[in-house]
Amino acid sequence: MAAIVRENDHVTSLPHDLVVEVCVRIASTSATPRKDIKCLQESCKVFHEASRAKKVGKFMNVRRELELSLNWFDKQEYFNLLRACANCDNFNAYFILGLEEMFNLKEKTLGLDHLHKAQVDEHPVTSYMLGMILFQELETRSLAVEMLNELVAVDSSRVSTAATPGDGALIQACRREAAEVMRYMTWEKPGRVNSVCPNQRCGRVFSTRDWDLWSYDENRNFCSDMCKWRHELDLFARS
């Protein structure tokens, strides 16, 4: 796409806002966003200036660059990209930076700050991740339960409580995405909370149909929200 733009002799006649939108489109949808934006910057002065607009950084697909393993091949360049995009209020950049600081750099305060900034955009995976992190510590566990319950309530038409058959679609999706990002980012695993509920019926599978056995970990009854989210943390740690 960038090559096509380079050959256009009428680029200089385009309104600046339109050129910026072209850059945003490439940065957000390209299979190789960083490479294509670099091509645009080298094509002409008009695109070089437009590609540096804050809106381009805000919508840069930093997750795609993570999937391309730029963080393993050139970690410094990737995190320079993340920080530049975070300065443009790119919420995925905040999210990935937060995980890097939490799990790899062991800078918990800074990591939580970035995750909270990502959460401002109503980023459900960030809310889930924050809940899992905060649940690990006794002093923040109640806050984590409150946060995770709020996440469940975001879409009551699809997700209800963990005591209702067939529920949990949003939580399962958040768990899968959070676990996938973690695998790209680090060898670290979230810590589990080893605690046994005295209620022997807590955590029992409520569906015994043969075709439901594959999802038995999702279909359980719990005596409290605390037990429900402890089980969820265990599922996430094993993902």
pLDDT at res. 141: 92
What amino acid occupies position 6? R
Element of type H or E holding 30: none
pLDDT at res. 216: 55
- Triad 89, 93, 96: Cα angle to 5°: 145
pLDDT at res. 12: 75
**CA 178 – CA 163 distance, rounded (Å):** 23
DSSP 180-219: HHHHHH-S--PPP-----S-TTTTEES---GGGGGGTTTS
DSSP structure class, residue 220: E
Which pair of tokens denotes residue 182?
């973690």
pLDDT at res. 123: 80
pLDDT at res. 3: 46
Whether 239 and 176 have beta carbons less than 8 Å apart is answered as: yes
Element of type H or E holding 32: none
* Residues with pLDDT less than 70, the chain: 1-10, 121, 155-167, 206-218
Is the whole-model pTM more than 0.85?
no
**CA 120 – CA 118 distance, rounded (Å):** 5
Q: What's the residue count for the chain? A: 239
Which pair of tokens denotes residue 196?
């046994």
Whether 185 and 102 have beta carbons less than 8 Å apart is answered as: no
How many other CB atoms are found less than 10 A from the CB of residue 46?
16
Whether 101 and 114 have beta carbons less than 8 Å apart is answered as: yes
pLDDT at res. 155: 57
